[in-house]
Amino acid sequence: MLEIVVKTEKWERHVRVSAEELAGLVRRIGGDGDLFLVVQRIPDLPDVFAQVWHKAGGDYTLEYRDGAADRHFQAMADGPEVVIAAMAGWARQEPRWDGGLNWSLLDMGPAREVPPLDLDEDERVELEKRVREVLVGGYASRAELAELAEEYLVTKDRRPVSREQAEVLADRLWLERVAEQAAWQGETDPERLTRAFTALQKAGITARENFTCCRSCGQSEIGGEGGPNARGFVYFHTQCTDSAAAGHGLMLLYGGFDDSSETTAAIGHEVVAALEAAGLRTEWDHDPHRAITVTALDWRRRLVG
């Protein structure tokens, strides 16, 4: 699998696709509402991406940015195969991946100047603390962190952080976390959790991580996530994520789609078994009305973006 995220004009988001899947997405573009792809590496880094635009009957416009606006290049291609080869090479960071195309530097205009934040020390500390909490949770993108930073201190009469300032703050804290995770070795507990949820999903249990903002929303929306053969569900919401990231364990909510206590208990046993098979520890008294808690978690979720 390629360590990339592919976003389409159709608002699709494909994480860690194969080379064949990337090729299929490139060959697909060209129709109305499906004209481009944007590709980022994992983890996402500011001002590092590749993208392609194509309208049926015309050439392909391929671009990549290599860390700043003055490192933004463009090339034209008359067919998809050269685009596929270039984008796969870019994803793998192969030497001379950009060979065979005639690249030109695009003039993106002068670099923007963003004024420093005009916050008192208490506000700055509070803002960075909240952004870091969500960042450590590991599910937010850079754009979502910037939105949080922009809105967090807003009051009826004051909007102290501009969008540009929020992006600068979010990117700085994001890069700190990327540098920190570079030292992590092996599979982490959140990756074990994802492995367990993937197994549950394949077994007919709708499994969702960081799903909705709270229990009330989760319970009302999880039914819409299951396929026709889903027997039940398990999920945790964003407040559960915050708790796990703060070192307090992870609460899992689960149940059967037939609303029976018997099915809910059976789903609970399957969830516990999958978690333990993935190497995680749980606390549950087998009561279908009580949540399952994943305990002793070392919450180090690698960023995607």
Give the number of other Cβ atoms within 10 Å of residue 196's Cβ: 23
Residues 131 and 163 in one domain: yes
Q: Is residue 205 part of a domain?
A: yes
| Residue 118 backbone dihedrals phi, psi, to 5 degrees | -100, 75
Query: What's the whole-number mean pLDDT along residues 152-162?
Result: 96
Look at residue 66 and tell me whether its pLDDT is greater than 90: yes
Residues 204 and 254 in one domain: yes
Residues 283 and 229 in one domain: yes
Q: Is residue 56 part of a domain?
A: yes
Q: Which of 137, 163, 181 is the last residue of a domain?
A: 181
Q: Which of 133, 155, 181 is the last residue of a domain?
A: 181
| Residue 170 backbone dihedrals phi, psi, to 5 degrees | -60, -40
Domain span including residue 159: 121-181
Contact 5, 13 (CB under 8 A): yes
Query: What's the whole-number mean pLDDT along residues 58-68?
Result: 97
Q: Is residue 304 part of a domain?
A: no
Residues 98 and 22 in one domain: yes
Look at residue 226 and tell me whether its pLDDT is greater than 90: no
pLDDT tens by residue, 7-22:
999 999 999 999 999 9
Look up the pTM and report it. Answer: 0.92
Burial, 193: exposed, middle or buried (Cβ in 10 Å; 0-12, 13-18, 19+)?
A: buried
pLDDT for the residue 21: 98
- Give the total number of structural domains in the chain: 3
Distance between start and end Cα atoms, the chain = 17
pLDDT tens by residue, 95-117:
999 998 999 999 988 888 999 99
pLDDT for the residue 112: 83
pLDDT for the residue 109: 86
Look at residue 227 and tell me whether its pLDDT is greater than 90: no
Residues 211 and 289 in one domain: yes
Residues 165 and 253 in one domain: no
Q: Is residue 269 part of a domain?
A: yes
Q: Is residue 114 part of a domain?
A: no
pLDDT tens by residue, 162-177:
999 999 999 999 999 9
Q: Is residue 302 part of a domain?
A: no
pLDDT tens by residue, 201-224:
999 999 999 999 999 999 999 999
Residues 155 and 85 in one domain: no
pLDDT tens by residue, 240-270:
999 999 999 999 999 999 989 999 999 999 9
Residues 237 and 257 in one domain: yes
Average pLDDT, the chain: 97
pLDDT for the residue 110: 84
Residues 89 and 15 in one domain: yes
